[in-house]
Chain A
Amino acid sequence: MQLAFFFSPPAPSFLHFFPPSRAPKPLSAQPRPFQRSPSPWLYGRRHCRRACGEGKGKVPPRAGGGGGRPQRAAARGDKMEVKDANAALLSNFEVFQLLTDLKQQRKESGKSKQSSGQQNLNTIMYETLKYISKTPCRYQSPETVRDFLITMKGHKLTKAEKLQLLNHRPVTAVEIQLMVEESEERLTEEQIESLLQTVTSILPGDPEEQQRESPMATEDKECSLQHKANFWSCL
C-alpha cells in the first residue's frame, strides 16, 4: 500500500508568521467553511434560549442595528446610493482649491498610506490639476469670484452661463455668443461690450495682471472635513 504518497511529511507551518486573524478579509465576507449559512449565530442563540427554557416559542430579537453578517447589510439595501446627482455646480476654481488643499494635506501627512489603493486618487488628482492649471482659474481667488458674481447679478444671465464665463474668461464677442444662449436676442452690442469689460477687469488673466491680484485668503481650517457652502448655493 503506497500510503506514503498521501501522507507527506508535515510542511512548515507559517501560521505563526501570518496568524489568520490578521489576514485581510474581502469586503463581502464569504462564509467560512465551518460556518453554516444563513447565520449560525442566530440559530445558536435560539437553541440556547430554548434549551434554557426562556422565550418559548418566541424568536429572540436581533441585537443592535445589524444582527447579521455583512451579507445581511447588503440584502437590506445598504449599498451605495446616489441621493442627488446634481446637488450643486462647482466652478473650476473651487475644484482647483480643493485639490491643492488635498495635495498639501497628503504631502504633510507623509507616505503612511498604502500606495496601491491610493493610485487612482493620485492619478485623477494629478491629471485634473494639470488640466485646471492651464485655465484662467489659477489666477482667481475667492474674492474675485465673489466680486464677479455680485457684478453679474445685474446682467440677467443664467447660472450655467455665469459659470462658463467664470471658467473660461472670454475676451472676444464670439466667445460670449457661444456661452450665452440666444445672445443676439437677449443682449445688444453695448451689453456684450460691457460684459466683456466686466469679465476682463474683474477676473485676472495674464501673468502681468497677477501682481494686482490679492493673495489667496487663508482662513483657519479646522480638522473637520466639512467644507463651507460653495459660492453657487448662495445665488
Chain B
Amino acid sequence: MFVLVEMTDTVRIPPWQFERKLNESIAEELNKKLANKVVYNVGLCICLYDITKLEDSYIFPGDGASHTKVHFRYVVFHPFLDEILIGEIKSCSQDGVHVSLGFFDDIVIPPESLQQPAKFDEAEQVWVWEYETEEGAHDLYMDIGEEIRFRVMDETFVDTSPTGPTSAEASTSNATEEVQKKEAPYTLVGSISEPGLGLLSWWTNS
C-alpha cells in the first residue's frame, strides 16, 4: 500500500529559524510542502521517512534565507496493481460504489466490476448483489459504512496544476475550468467481481 519514494528538493529556511537545528527545520518544511498532497504520477504523500543527504546551504543576494538541496525519502500511498485493500463504503451512486480509506477517498468501483448480478436500488440508493442459492435469491445490500475488500484495477493521475489564463475563450473556459477543479488528482478504480471480494460480512465463517 505504501512505498518509499526518493526525491530531491531545494528547501528554503528563513533567517528567523536559523537558531533551530537544520535537520528539524528541513523536516518541518518538507512535511509542510508535501504531506497530504498528491504528487503527479507518484501518489499521495504521507510523511517524511528520512533525510539521506544534505548538500551545502547557500544564501543568495536579495534574500536572507538559506537554500539547501536535500535528498530525502518520503512515504507515499501508492497501491500496486491488483493489490487487495480493505476500505469503507462511503456512498453509492449510478457510477458505482464509492469507497474510502479514511486518508484517501477517491476510490470507485464501477457497476460492471461488482459481483454479478447486481442492481441499483433507487429507493435506498444502494447497490445490491442478487446472490442466487438453492433456496432462492438473496439480496445482499452494500450499505454505507460497511467494510469492503476490493482489488485495485486501475489508477489515474490528473495534473491539477493551475493553467494560465486563456485570452480568447475567457468566458467559455470558465465553466470547464470549474469542472476541472473538482476533479481529484489521483483516483483508483477497484473491482469486487471475484470470490472473496466484497463486504467482509459476506465471506466470514460464522
Contact = CB atoms under 8 A, between A and B. Distances in A.
Contact of A178 (B2, B71, B101, B151): B151
Contacts of B71: 83
Interface stretch (A46-54, A144-152, A203-211, A219-227): A219-227
Interface string B44-75: 00111111100010101111110101010101
Nearest to B61: A41
Contacts of B121: none
Contacts of B50: 225-227
Nearest to B10: A78
B56 A127 contact: no
B73 to A, nearest CB: 6
A131 B79 CA distance: 15
Given A127-B103, A178-B197, A120 B7 contact: no
B1 interface: yes
Name A's interface SS: mixed
A69 B32 contact: no
B51 A225 contact: yes
A65 interface: yes
Interface in A62-110: 64-70, 72-73, 78-92, 94-95, 98-99, 102
B194 A66 contact: no
Contacts of B5: 82, 84-87
Interface string B95-123: 00000011100000000000000000000
Contacts of B16: 22
Contact of A121 (B47, B52, B62): B47
Contacts of A66: 58, 60, 67
Interface string A98-136: 110010000000000100011011011101101100010
Given A131-B103, A175-B196, A178-B196, A90 B28 contact: no
Given A66-B67, A127-B103, A121 B36 contact: yes
B4 interface: yes
Interface string B182-198: 00000000000011110
A78 B6 contact: no
Interface of A: 21-22, 24-25, 27, 29, 31-32, 35, 39, 41, 64-70, 72-73, 78-92, 94-95, 98-99, 102, 113, 117-118, 120-121, 123-125, 127-128, 130-131, 135, 160, 164, 167-168, 172, 174-175, 177-179, 181, 223-227, 230
Given A39-B61, A85-B3, 9 more contacts: A24-B14, A25-B64, A32-B62, A80-B9, A81-B7, A124-B46, A135-B86, A179-B84, A226-B52
User: 6 nearest interchain CB pairs?
Assistant: A127-B103, A124-B36, A121-B35, A174-B196, A120-B36, A80-B9
